[in-house]
Structure 1
Amino acid sequence: MAPNLLLLLLFTYRPLLDNIRLSFFTWNISATRPAVFVGLTNYIEWAKDPESWQIVLQTVVFTVSAVGGSMVLGLALALLLDRPLRGRNVVRSLVFALYVISGAAVGVAFQFVFDPKYGMIQDLLARIGMESPEFYTHPRWALFMIITTYVWKNLGYTFVIYLAALQGLRKDLDEAAEIDRTSGLRKFFRVTLPQLRPTTFFLSVTVLLNSMQVFDIINVMTQGGPLGNSTSTMVYQVYQETFVNGRAGYGAAVATLMFLAVLVVTVVQVRLQDRKG
Structure 2
Amino acid sequence: AAALGVAVLLNQSRGGQGFYRAAFYAPSLIGASVSIAIVWRALFADGAPVDRAQQLIGLDPGGWIGDPDKIIYALVALTVWQFGAPMVIFLAGLKQVPRELYEAAQMDGAGPWRRFWNITLPMISPVLFFNVLLETIHSFQIFGSAYIIGSQGNACGPADGTLVYTCYLYVQGFENSRMGLASAMAWMLLLAVGLVTAVLFWSQRRWVHYEEGGR
Q: With the length of structure 1 as denominator, give the TM-score of the two structures.
A: 0.70
Q: 2:157 aligns with which of 225, 236, 241?
A: 225
Structure whose alpha-carbon radius of gyration is higher: 1
Q: Tell me the alpha carbon deviations over residues 16-75 of structure 1, each in whole angstroms, 9 at most, x when there is no partner.
A: xxxxxxxxxxxxxxxxxxxxxxxxxxxxxxxxxxxxxxxxxxxxxxxxxxxxxxxx1001
Unaligned runs of 5+ in 1: 1-71
Q: Distance in 2 between matches of 1:206 and 1:164?
A: 16
Match of 2:210 in 1: none
Give matches, 1:1-277, under 5 Å: 72-101=1-30, 102-117=32-47, 119-153=48-82, 155-222=83-150, 223-227=155-159, 229-276=160-207, 277=215
Q: Is the 8 A contact 2:34 2:145 kept in 1?
A: yes
Q: Which runs of 5+ in 2 are unaligned?
A: 208-214
Contact 2:45 2:66 in 1 (8 A): no
Query: Which residue matches 1:66?
Result: none
Q: 1:140 to 1:129 in 2, by over 3 A?
A: closer
Equivalent position SS for 1:140: coil
- CA distance in 1: counterparts of 2:42 and 2:128, whole angstroms: 33
Q: Does the C-alpha gap of structure 1 residues 262 and 208 become closer, same or farther in structure 2, counting only changes over 3 Å? A: same
Query: Which one-letter code corresponds to 1:260 in the other structure?
Result: L
Determine if contact 1:136/1:142 at 8 Å carries over to the other structure. Answer: yes
Q: How far, CA to CA, are the matches of 1:246 and 1:236 in structure 2?
A: 14
Distance of aligned partners of 1:204 and 1:156 in 2 relative to their CA distance in 1, 3 Å threshold = same
Moved more, 199-208 or 239-248: 239-248
Counterpart-to-counterpart distance in 2, 1:91 and 1:192: 22
How far, CA to CA, are the matches of 1:106 and 1:212 in structure 2? 20
Q: Is the 8 A contact 1:110 1:149 kept in 2?
A: yes
What's the TM-score, normalizing by structure 2?
A: 0.89
Q: CA deviation at 1:140?
A: 1.9
- The residue identity in structure 2 corresponding to 1:109 is V
> Distance in 2 between the 1:85 and 1:148 partners?
28
Relative contact order, higher structure (CA 8 A, sep 6+): 1
Q: Contact 1:133/1:141 (CA < 8 Å) preserved in 2?
A: no
Instruction: Give the root-mean-square deviation of aligned CA atoms.
Output: 1.5
| Number of equivalent positions | 203
Cα deviation, 1:74-120, whole Å, max 9, x if unaligned, reads 01100111111221210110111110104322211111221221x22
Contact 2:7/2:87 (8 A) holds in 1: yes
Identity %: 27
Q: Report how far residue 214 of structure 1 moved.
A: 0.9
SS of equivalent residue, structure 1 residue 176: helix
How many Å apart are 1:275 and its aligned residue?
A: 4.0
Cα distance per residue 1:94-149 (max 9 Å; x no partner): 111110104322211111221221x2212222323433344123222011111111
